[in-house]
C-alpha cells in the first residue's frame, strides 16, 4: 500500500518514520506529475514545496493553527495532505479548485491566488488568535509585491505573539524573479543556532555586570551584540524591521525543516524562516525548462514534458504584432509584471532586451513606471492579465489617465478565463475601466481586429486599453494591420426582428445564436462593438431599426457594456428596447470557458433560447 494512501489527515504524518516520509515525498511528486499530465495545472511550484508542506503539517496543528499560502497555486501538496486526493477534475467545472478554497476544506483559510497578500491575512489572524500559531508561506516571487512590505512594516510594529513567516525562496515567480529585494542569496543562516542565542545572552549578562563610564552597560551590550552579528552575517531587511530571522535553510531537508520550525515556535514574537527550494524538483523536464520551469501546464507527455497538442493563442498573435511594431518604432517599450512569456512579450524581449521591462509582481509600480516613461517621450505598452490589472486601478486613473498619457494597456485573459477560477476570471475590466475619464476601451472579436486595434493604440495620443480573452486564434493576421478608427463599430449582418450588440468574444456567440434563430424564423442583425468607449455615433440609428436589442458581453452587467448602451439611450426613448445579457452579480467557478459561459447562459444555445423567450414565440 502506498504511503500516500494512508494519509487522510495531517495527523497521519506524525506516525511516519523518516524513511517513510522520504518515500511519501517521492510518491507525492509522482502523483503530481501523472495527475497534472492529464488535467494541466501548476506543476513546478508544487514539486518544489513537497518537503516544506510535509514539515509544516507535522509541526503545526492545522486547522487550529492557520497555514496561509501566498500565491495559492503552491497548495496542491497541502490539498493532498488534508484529504483531497481526487485530482481527476482539477480546475474543471465542479471539480477541485486549483487554489485554496474555503468551500473545500477547513484547512483552507483564504481563497487566494493574487500574490503578496498572505502577510496581511496572517497578521489579521495572528492578532485575533494569539493562542494559536499563524503561518504565512510567501514565495514564488510574491516578495516583489509592495503589499508584502506594507504588511511587514505593520508586523514590525504590531508584533503578534505567534506569527511565523516562511519565505519560500525558489528564485522565481513565473520566470526568474527580478528586483533587488528578491535577491535573498546573501541572507544569513545562523540566527536560530542555539550557540548564537546562548552567546548573545551570555555576553549581555557579562557586560551588564561590568562598571562602565560614559554609556551604560546595556547600551554597550547592545552595540557589542550588533557588531558581532554583523561580523557573522550581514543585516537583512527583516533585521532592519526588528524581526527574528532564520535562514537560509535547505527546503528539501525534512529533519532540518522540522527542527527549524520547532525552534521558531519557541519565540514569543514574529519569526521569519527562510527556506530555499528548487522549483520543479524531481521532474527533469521542469528543471530543464529555463523559461518558467513548466510553471503552469496544460496536458503534457510525462516522459518529455512536452504539451499534448498546442494551438495558436491571441496572446501569441499580439506578441508577434507588438514585435513588428517595436521594429518600426524605437520609442516603443513593453512592460509586464512577472509575466513576460505569459503575456506574449518573449519574442520582443529576445530581440530588444533593453526595451522589455519586468517589474516583478508589482502591478501598481508597472503602471506608474509606464506613466513616467510616457512623460519622458516613450510609447509604453503595459501587458497584464485583466484580474491583476485590477490591483493598479488607482494608478491607471491618477497616474496615467489624469495626465492623458499615451500608455497602451494590453489586457490579456479578459472575460471568462477558465480553469483558474473566481480569482482569475477577468469579468470586471469593462466596468472599472469605463468609468475612467479619457480612457479609450477596446474589445476586439478576433485576431485580425486585435492586431488592427493595436496599430490604433500605439499611434493614439492618450491612454487606451484593449482587452482580449484567453482564446485560440485561427490565423496570424498580416502585420502591420490597418488601424480601426476609435469608436468605429462594424455591422456584421442586418435583420428585422432582433439586433445583437456584442463586445469581444461575444460577437462569435451572437453570430452563432443569430444563425440558430434564423432557422426558427427570427431575423437577427449583429454589430461588433469593437470599442466599448467611446461608442459608435450610429448606435441610435441601429437601435431605432429593431424592436428588440440584446447586448452581449463577458463582463459583469453592473457598469459594463450593456449599461453603457442604456446610459447612451436614456434620453432617446429607445432604452426600453434593450435587454442586457452578461455575467451575473456573482463570482464564477473554475472550469473551461465554454462550461462556465454556458452555466450563466452565455453560450449560443442559451442566448437563442433567451431571445425566443423575449419575443414570446
Residue numbers annotated as active site: 279, 363, 391
DSSP H helices, 486-538, are: 506-519
Give the Å distances, CA to CA, from 10 to 3, 67, 80. Answer: 13, 12, 9
Our measurement of the distance from residue 523's CA atom to the centroid of its chain's CA atoms, rounded to an integer in Å, reads 42
Contact 561, 505 (CB under 8 A): no
Phi and psi based region of residue 80 (left: phi greater than 0; alpha: psi -120 to 50; beta: remaining): alpha
What are φ and ψ of residue 410, in 5° steps? Answer: -95, 110
Q: Comparing C-alpha atoms, which of 367, 386, 406, 400 is closest to residue 315?
A: 386
β-partners of residue 465 are 409, 441
Q: What is the spatial distance between Cα 484 and Cα 457, in angstroms, rounded to a whole number?
A: 9
Give the Å distances, CA to CA, from 454 to 337, 435, 484. Answer: 20, 22, 9
SS3 110: coil
583 secondary structure, DSSP code: E
Percent of the chain that is helix, strand, coil (3-state, to 5)? 40, 15, 40
What single string gives the DSSP state of each residue in 144-208? GSHHHHHHHHHHHHH--TTEEEEEEE-SBSSSB--SGGG--TT--S-TT-HHHHHHHHHHHHHHH
Q: Comparing C-alpha atoms, which of 11, 6, 36, 10 is closest to residue 96?
A: 36
Which residues, at least 6 apart from 495, have a Cβ–Cβ distance to it below 8 Å?
A: 514, 523, 524, 525, 546
Contact 85, 2 (CB under 8 A): no
DSSP H helices, 447-574, are: 447-459, 506-519, 539-544, 561-569
Which residues, at least 6 apart from 245, have a Cβ–Cβ distance to it below 8 Å?
A: 187, 188, 191, 236, 238, 239, 271, 272, 274
Q: What is the spatial distance between Cα 262 and Cα 259, in angstroms, rounded to a whole number?
A: 5
Helix (H) or strand (E) run with residue 608 in it:
helix 604-615
Q: Comparing C-alpha atoms, which of 309, 300, 233, 241 is closest to residue 271?
A: 241
Q: Kindly provide the b/e burial profile for residues 414-439, where b requires at least 16 CB atoms within 10 angstroms of the residue's own CB.
A: bbbbbbbbbbbbbbbbbbbbbebeeb
Amino acid at each position: 500500500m502506498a504511503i500516500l494512501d494512508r494519509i487522510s489527515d495531517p495527523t497521519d504524518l506524525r506516525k511516519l518514520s523518516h524513511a517513510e516520509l522520504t518515500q511519501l515525498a517521492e510518491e507525492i511528486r509522482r502523483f503530481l506529475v501523472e495527475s497534472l499530465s492529464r488535467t494541466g495545472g501548476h506543476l513546478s511550484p508544487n514539486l518544489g514545496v513537497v518537503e516544506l508542506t510535509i514539515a509544516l503539517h507535522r509541526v503545526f496543528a492545522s486547522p487550529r493553527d492557520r497555514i496561509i499560502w501566498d500565491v495559492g497555486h503552491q497548495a496542491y501538496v497541502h490539498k493532498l495532505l488534508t484529504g483531497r486526493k481526487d485530482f481527476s477534475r482539477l480546475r474543471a467545472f465542479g471539480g477541485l479548485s486549483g487554489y485554496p478554497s474555503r468551500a473545500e476544506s477547513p484547512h483552507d483559510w483564504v481563497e487566494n491566488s493574487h500574490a503578496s497578500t498572505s502577510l496581511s491575512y496572517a497578521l489579521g489572524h495572528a492578532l485575533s488568535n494569539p493562542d494559536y500559531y499563524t503561518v504565512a508561506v510567501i514565495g514564488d516571487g510574491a516578495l516583489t509585491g509592495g503589499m508584502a512590505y506594507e504588511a511587514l512594516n505593520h508586523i514590525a510594529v504590531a508584533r503578534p505573539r505567534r506569527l511565523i513567516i516562511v519565505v519560500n525562496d525558489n528564485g522565481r515567480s513565473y520566470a526568474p524573479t527580478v528586483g533587488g529585494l528578491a535577491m535573498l542569496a546573501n541572507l544569513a543562516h545562523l540566527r536560530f543556532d542555539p550557540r548564537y542565542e546562548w552567546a548573545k545572552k551570555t555576553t549581555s549578562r557579562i557586560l551588564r555586570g561590568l562598571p562602565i563610564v560614559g554609556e551604560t552597560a546595556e547600551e554597550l551590550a547592545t552595540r557589542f551584540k550588533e557588531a558581532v552579528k554583523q561580523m557573522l552575517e550581514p543585516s537583512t531587511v527583516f533585521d532592519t524591521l526588528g524581526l527574528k530571522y532564520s535562514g537560509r535553510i535547505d527546503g528539501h531537508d525534512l529533519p532540518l525543516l522540522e527542527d527549524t520550525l520547532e525552534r521558531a515556535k519557541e519565540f514569543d514574537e514574529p519569526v521569519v524562516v527562510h527556506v530555499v527550494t528548487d522549483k520543479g524538483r524531481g521532474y527533469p523536464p521542469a528543471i530543464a525548462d529555463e523559461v518558467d520551469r513548466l510553471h503552469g501546464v496544460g496536458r503534457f507527455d510525462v516522459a518529455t514534458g512536452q504539451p499534448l497538442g498546442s494551438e495558436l493563442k491571441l496572446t501569441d498573435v499580439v506578441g508577434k504584432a507588438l514585435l513588428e511594431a517595436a521594429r518600426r518604432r524605437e520609442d516603443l517599450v513593453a512592460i509586464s509584471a512577472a509575466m513576460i512569456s505569459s503575456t506574449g512579450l518573449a519574442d520582443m524581449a529576445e530581440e530588444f532586451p533593453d526595451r522589455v521591462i519586468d517589474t516583478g509582481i508589482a502591478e501598481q509600480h508597472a503602471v506608474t513606471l509606464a506613466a513616467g516613461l510616457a512623460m519622458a517621450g516613450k510609447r509604453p505598452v503595459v501587458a497584464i492579465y485583466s484580474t491583476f490589472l485590477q490591483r493598479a486601478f488607482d494608478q491607471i486613473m491618477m497616474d496615467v489617465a489624469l495626465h492623458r498619457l499615451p500608455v497602451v494597456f494590453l489586457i490579456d485573459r479578459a472575460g471568462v478565463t477558465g480553469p483558474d477560477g473566481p480569482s482569475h476570471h477577468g469579468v470586471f475590466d469593462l466596468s472599472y475601466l469605463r468609468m475612467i475619464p479619457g480612457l479609450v476601451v477596446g474589445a476586439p472579436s478576433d485576431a485580425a481586429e486585435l492586431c488592427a486595434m493595436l496599430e490604433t493604440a500605439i499611434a493614439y495620443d492618450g491612454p487606451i486599453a484593449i482587452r482580449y480573452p484567453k482564446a485560440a486564434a485561427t490565423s496570424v493576421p498580416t502585420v502591420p494591420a490597418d488601424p480601426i478608427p476609435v469608436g468605429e463599430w462594424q455591422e456584421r449582418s442586418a435583420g428585422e426582428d432582433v439586433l445583437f450588440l456584442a463586445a469581444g468574444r461575444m460577437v462569435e456567440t451572437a453570430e452563432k445564436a443569430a444563425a440558430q434563430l434564423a432557422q426558427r424564423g427570427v431575423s437577427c442583425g449583429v454589430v461588433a462593438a469593437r470599442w466599448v468607449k467611446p461608442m459608435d455615433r450610429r448606435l441610435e440609428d441601429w437601435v431605432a431599426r429593431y424592436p428588440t436589442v440584446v447586448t452581449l458581453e463577458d463582463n459583469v452587467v453592473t457598469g459594463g457594456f450593456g449599461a453603457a448602451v442604456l446610459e447612451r439611450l436614456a434620453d432617446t426613448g429607445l432604452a426600453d428596447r434593450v435587454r442586457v445579457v452578461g455575467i451575473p452579480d456573482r463570482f464564477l467557478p473554475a472550469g473551461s470557458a465554454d462550461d462556465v459561459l454556458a452555466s450563466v447562459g452565455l453560450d449560443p444555445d442559451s442566448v437563442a433560447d433567451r431571445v425566443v423567450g423575449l419575443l414570446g414565440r
